[in-house]
């Protein structure tokens, strides 16, 4: 009887091990579908906005076409290079540009691989950073680097902080940043208690590391009522600040509407209005 129970216990253990490893494999191989919730647009989709813009397309090193929008003003003070979050497309996020064009800046927005009219798909973190650097190099042909302001929102904060850390734009502005990707995931799920995310995650998105390597002033904006990325993430990031960096907490502000926040607009005017 005892031997039989031991045998049954071994079988149950093997079944649970197989199930555990299966879940690990699912987590690893489906990350892109879980994290990048893109909205595709038809190749002939026509953008319509009540302001001057250009649709620009650039080829990546591996031949993928990236679709971008450039919103233009007369006699621009400079350029805002804007990185949106992990969902939607330029058709949705272009509404974020008015606050910057009203302050006299052109605004460049990119749709990542597989988003909107951009081709391909995201397969790794460095691929994203290489794409962004290519676009930055193209923009420097028109705009002086000291006139470029890099802005990132949510997932886009890691695109922005990485780009700024290896270049010399005027300012880096991050809206609702996370500390790193594992931290962001664990805010939404207890999965990290049961599975080794540090091994399974193909993406690290280490904002804390990139910010430490930024030479320009860094400004963080985070809502105290953010339901997607808790403002405690920005409090942790504050610990790696330079003296000239700053965190502005927006009282009662949630995740997706920071741009409409009066305090954010006031601070942005102070930063970019001169």
Radius of gyration of the chain (CA): 21
Per-residue confidence (pLDDT) for residue 35, from 0 to 100: 82
Cα–Cα distances (Å) from 128 to 6, 15, 108, 110, 259, in that order, read 51, 38, 16, 11, 24
pLDDT at res. 201: 78
What CA–CA distance (Å, rounded) separates 73 from 147? 14
Distance CA 126, CA 143 (A): 25
pLDDT of 4 reads 65
pLDDT in tens, the chain (274 residues): 666 666 677 777 777 777 767 766 666 777 788 788 999 999 999 999 988 999 999 999 999 999 999 999 999 999 999 999 999 999 999 989 999 999 999 999 999 999 999 999 999 999 999 999 999 999 999 999 999 999 999 999 999 999 999 999 999 999 999 999 888 887 765 565 666 666 677 899 999 999 999 999 999 999 999 999 999 999 999 999 999 999 999 999 999 899 999 999 999 999 997 6
pLDDT at position 31: 79
Sorted by where each begins, the domain ranges of the chain are: 36-272
- Cα separation values, 77 from 31, 70, 103, 137, 147, Å: 40, 15, 9, 19, 7
Asked whether the beta carbons of 202 and 32 are under 8 A apart, the reply is no
pLDDT of residue 19: 78
Q: Does domain 36-272 have CATH number 3.40.50.1820?
A: yes
Crossing angle for the helix pair 156-165 and 125-139, to the nearest 10 degrees: 60
DSSP reduced 3-state for 59: strand
Residue pair 195/255 in contact (Cβ under 8 Å)? The answer is no
């Amino acid at each position: 009887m005892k031997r039989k129970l031991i045998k049954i216990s071994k079988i149950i253990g093997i079944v649970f091990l197989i199930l555990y490893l299966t879940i690990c494999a699912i987590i690893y191989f489906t990350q892109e579908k879980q994290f990048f919730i893109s909205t595709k647009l038809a190749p002939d989709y026509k953008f319509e906005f009540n302001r001057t813009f250009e649709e620009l397309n650039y080829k990546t090193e591996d031949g993928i076409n990236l679709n971008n929008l450039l919103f233009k003003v007369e006699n621009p003070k400079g350029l805002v290079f804007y990185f949106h979050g992990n969902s939607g497309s330029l058709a949705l996020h272009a509404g974020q540009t008015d606050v910057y064009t009203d302050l006299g800046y052109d605004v460049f927005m990119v749709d990542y691989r597989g988003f909107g009219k951009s081709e391909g798909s995201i397969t790794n973190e460095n691929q994203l950073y290489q794409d962004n650097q290519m676009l930055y190099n193209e923009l420097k042909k028109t705009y002086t680097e000291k006139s470029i302001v890099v802005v990132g929102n949510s997932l886009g904060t890691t695109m922005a902080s990485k780009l700024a850390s290896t270049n010399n734009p005027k300012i880096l502005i991050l809206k609702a940043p996370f500390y790193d990707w594992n931290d962001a995931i664990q805010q939404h799920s207890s999965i990290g208690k049961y599975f080794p995310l540090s091994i399974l995650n193909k993406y690290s998105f280490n904002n804390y590391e990139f910010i430490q390597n930024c030479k320009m002033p860094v400004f963080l904006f985070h809502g105290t009522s953010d339901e997607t990325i808790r403002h405690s993430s920005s409090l942790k990031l504050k610990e790696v600040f330079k003296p000239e960096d700053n965190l502005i907490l927006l009282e009662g502000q949630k995740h997706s509407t920071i741009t409409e926040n009066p305090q954010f607009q006031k601070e942005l005017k102070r930063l970019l209005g001169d």
